[in-house]
C-alpha cells in the first residue's frame, strides 16, 4: 500500500500500473483521460476496491511463498526514477538480494486462470506484461519474476526478461502521453460521452462554439440515427404488448415443445418515497439533499 507521500510523488511521473490505462487496456476500466486528470491534479488517484485491497493484503503472503520455493532473499525498495526519462517511475513490490532482479506479486481469481500461460514463461495478461516491461526498462533489470496466486490455491511463477520491441513501444507510449498531453495540458481524446463529461463537467453559460462542416454532418447523422432508434423502439413496444397479451397473468411462456421462451414474473423493489419524506420529515429531506451539476446534451434538428 502506497503512503500519501508516495501517491503524491506518483503524480510527477508514470508508474507501472499506469501503463495499461494509458494504452486503453486497464482491467479497472481506467482510461488515458483518467490518468491525465490524476497527473495534473484534477482528480484523485484510484483508491482501490475489494480486489486491490485483498491483493495488497496477500502481497506479503505471495512474496513469502516465492522466497520459500526459490530460496531467494527479497526486500522492499524505494521509489525509483529513470535517470534519463524522468517521467518513468518504478515502485516495484520487491527486489531480489544479490541480483539485479525484482518480483511483482499478483493475485487473481480462478476465472482468470486461462489468461496465464505456462509457468516460467512471460505468458501473462497484457496489462501485467506492460507493467513489468516498464519496470525492467526503468531500472535496467536482468529479469522480473511474477509470482501469482490464482483462486487462492494455485501458485505459479512467471518470468519476464528483456523484450526490446515491447519496451520501445511502452517507452514511446509513455513519452507521447507525458510530453504531448500532461506537460502541454492537452487532454487525450475522451472517446466516450461519459469520459467527455469527466473532462468538461461544467459549461460556461455564455461561451459559444462554432460547428464545422464535420460537426454539422455528425448532427444530421445523429438525428437520422435517433429517428431510426425511435421507430425500432416503437416496434419493440408493440411486440412486447403482443407477448403480454398471451401471457396475461401467467409467469412463464413456453413453446409447443415445452421450452421456456419468456417470463413475466413479479419483482419486488424498495424505493424511497421522496414525496412522503419531504412532507413528513422536511428537515431530514433538506439535510439529505445535496446540490449537483450535470450537463445534458440536447441536439436540434437541421
Coil/strand/helix, residue 269: coil
Phi, psi of 206 (to 5 degrees): -95, 0
Check pLDDT > 90 for residue 85.
yes
- The arithmetic mean of pLDDT across residues 164-180, rounded, is 93
Check pLDDT > 70 for residue 3.
no
Report the range of poorest mean pLDDT among 25-34, 170-179, 238-247: 25-34
Report the range of poorest mean pLDDT among 18-32, 124-138, 259-273: 259-273
Helix (H) or strand (E) holding 154: strand 154-161
Q: Which of 105, 95, 58 is nearest to 73 (CA)?
A: 95
Phi, psi of 262 (to 5 degrees): -165, 155
**DSSP state letters, 167-195:** HHHHHHHHHHHIIIIITTT-PPP--SHHH
Domains in the chain (CATH in brackets) are 4-191 (3.90.320.10), 213-288 (no CATH)
d(CA 161, CA 137): 10
3-state helix, strand, coil in the chain (%, to 5): 45, 15, 40
Q: What is the predicted pLDDT for the residue at 269?
A: 64
In tens, the pLDDT along 247-258 reads 899 989 999 999
Mean pLDDT of the chain: 85
Comparing 6 with 13, the larger pLDDT belongs to: 13
Coil/strand/helix, residue 261: strand
Cell of 8: 503524491
**DSSP state letters, 31-60:** -HHHHHHHHTTSSPPP---HHHHHHHHHHH
In tens, the pLDDT along 252-296 reads 999 999 999 998 888 776 677 788 888 888 888 888 877 766 655
Question: Which residues are paired to 156 by β-bridges?
Answer: 148
d(CA 266, CA 247): 13
Q: What is the predicted pLDDT for the residue at 214?
A: 83
- The arithmetic mean of pLDDT across residues 23-42, rounded, is 85
Question: Which residues are paired to 158 by β-bridges?
Answer: 146
Cα→Cα distances 224→89, 176, 181, 298, Å? 48, 37, 35, 15
Q: What is the predicted pLDDT for the residue at 101?
A: 97
Amino acid at each position: 500500500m502506497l503512503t500519501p507521500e508516495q501517491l503524491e510523488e506518483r503524480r510527477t511521473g508514470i508508474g507501472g500500473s499506469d501503463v495499461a490505462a494509458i494504452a486503453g487496456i486497464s482491467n479497472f476500466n481506467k482510461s488515458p483521460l483518467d490518468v491525465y486528470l490524476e497527473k495534473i491534479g484534477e482528480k484523485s488517484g484510484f483508491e482501490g476496491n475489494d480486489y486491490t485491497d485483498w491483493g495488497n493484503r496477500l502481497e506479503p503472503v505471495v512474496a513469502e511463498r516465492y522466497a520459500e520455493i526459490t530460496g531467494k532473499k527479497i526486500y522492499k525498495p524505494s521509489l525509483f526514477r529513470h535517470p534519463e526519462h524522468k517521467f518513468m517511475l518504478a515502485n516495484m513490490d520487491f527486489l531480489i538480494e544479490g541480483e539485479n532482479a525484482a518480483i511483482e506479486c499478483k493475485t487473481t481469481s480462478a476465472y482468470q486462470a486461462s489468461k496465464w500461460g505456462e509457468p516460467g514463461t512471460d505468458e501473462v495478461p497484457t496489462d501485467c506484461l506492460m507493467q513489468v516491461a516498464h519496470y525492467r526498462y526503468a531500472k535496467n533489470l536482468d529479469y522480473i519474476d511474477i509470482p501469482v496466486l490464482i483462486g487462492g490455491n494455485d501458485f505459479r511463477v512467471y518470468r519476464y526478461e528483456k523484450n526490446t520491441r515491447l519496451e520501445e513501444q511502452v517507452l514511446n507510449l509513455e513519452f507521447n502521453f507525458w510530453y504531448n498531453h500532461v506537460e502541454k495540458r492537452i487532454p487525450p481524446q475522451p472517446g466516450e460521452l461519459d469520459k467527455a463529461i469527466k473532462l468538461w463537467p461544467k459549461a460556461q453559460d455564455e461561451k459559444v462554439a462554432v460547428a464545422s462542416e464535420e460537426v454539422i454532418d455528425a448532427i444530421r447523422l445523429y438525428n437520422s440515427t435517433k429517428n431510426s432508434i425511435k421507430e425500432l423502439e416503437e416496434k419493440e413496444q408493440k411486440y412486447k404488448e403482443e407477448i403480454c397479451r398471451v401471457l396475461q397473468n401467467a409467469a412463464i411462456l413456453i413453446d409447443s415443445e415445452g421450452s421456456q421462451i419468456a417470463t413475466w414474473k413479479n419483482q419486488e423493489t424498495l424505493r424511497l418515497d421522496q414525496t412522503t419524506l419531504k412532507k413528513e420529515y422536511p428537515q431530514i429531506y433538506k439535510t439529505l439533499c445535496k446540490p449537483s451539476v450535470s450537463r445534458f446534451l440536447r441536439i436540434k434538428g437541421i
